[in-house]
Amino acid sequence: MDSTERSVVVFDGPGGVRALLGSMDWASTPLGPVDSWSPVLRIMARSCLCPGFPILIHWGPEHVAVYNDAAASQLGGKHPAA
């Protein structure tokens, strides 16, 4: 499975945040390309995108935020920069 396929597996489905996260160049972030993410991070990211209630995950020393549409609505003007 290549990095594009892993990205699709993590971020597939409906929602604006999923689309945003799926289109990101993760290689240019502190988390690196999705295919280099630990299985735990990939599972947590996918799981947080599913529920209808707000979930926000901070990961790594830089506390990179991964969150769902419900959390984005609560972040208001801080989304998508959050």
List, for residues 17-45, the tens digit of each pLDDT value.
Answer: 999 999 999 999 999 999 999 999 999 99
CA distances from 21 to 41, 50, 51 (A): 14, 14, 16
Number of structural domains (the chain) is 1
Q: Assess contact for 64 and 29: CB atoms under 8 A.
A: yes
CA distance 32 to 73: 26
Q: How confident is the model at residue 4 (pLDDT cuts 50, 70, 90)?
A: low
Domain of 50 in residue numbering reads as 3-78
Q: Assess contact for 30 and 60: CB atoms under 8 A.
A: yes
Q: Note the maximum CA span of the chain.
A: 36
Task: Determine the average pLDDT of the residues in 61-77.
Answer: 90
pTM score, whole prediction: 0.81
CA distance 52 to 72: 11
